[in-house]
């Protein structure tokens, strides 16, 4: 069927991690971060979340992700189409000192204008939970 413009997600405003359209392996919980709401957690190597119809009006060159981790952290891969689809970029997530000790981390992406199903795919040690995520936002060139 057809979609209204209001179905589109704006990547240049915060997208709440818990507002996913599909996921594998994660759960949500209330967050102590500014603004309240929820974060996603129970994130392990190979887990992913999907955000449908993210509309990039112009190139994006970076992503900011609000994260917390009480372990050595891990990496978030930004992919399109599927959890193993085209890699658009990634961001490293460090230990932040606790599961509700929040930091904003930045990674490089290369995204052309268009409308995509965006996946965040989590990578790291299979030995422990990797991170919590509250929200993310993309930044345009310049
Ligand atoms: Ca999990
Ligand atoms: Ca949130």
Dump pLDDT digits (tens) for 28-83: 999 999 888 999 999 999 999 999 999 999 999 999 999 999 999 999 999 999 99
Residue with more model confidence, 59 or 5: 59
Ligand nearest to the CA of 135: 2
Q: Residue 30 in 3-state DSSP?
A: strand
User: What is the 118 CA–ligand 1 centroid distance (Å)?
Assistant: 19
pLDDT in tens, 71-88: 999 999 999 999 999 999
Q: Which protein residues have their CB within 5 A of the ion that is ligand 1?
A: 25, 42, 44, 47
- pTM recorded for the entire structure: 0.94
Nearest ligand to the CA atom of 66: 2
Domains and CATH numbers, the chain: 7-140 (2.60.120.260)
């Amino acid at each position: 069927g057809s979609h209204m413009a209001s179905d589109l997600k704006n990547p240049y405003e915060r997208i709440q991690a818990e507002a996913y359209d599909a996921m594998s392996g994660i759960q949500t919980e209330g967050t102590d971060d500014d603004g309240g709401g929820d974060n996603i957690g129970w994130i392990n190597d190979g887990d992913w979340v999907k955000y449908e119809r993210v509309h990039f009006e112009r190139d994006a060159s970076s992503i900011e992700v609000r994260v917390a981790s009480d372990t050595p952290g891990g990496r978030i891969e930004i992919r399109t189409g599927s959890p193993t689809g085209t890699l658009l970029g990634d961001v490293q997530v460090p230990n932040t000192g606790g599961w509700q000790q929040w930091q904003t981390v930045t990674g490089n992406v290369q995204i052309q204008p268009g409308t995509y199903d965006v996946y965040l795919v989590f990578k790291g040690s299979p030995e422990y939970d990797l991170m919590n995520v509250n929200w993310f936002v993309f930044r345009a060139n310049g």
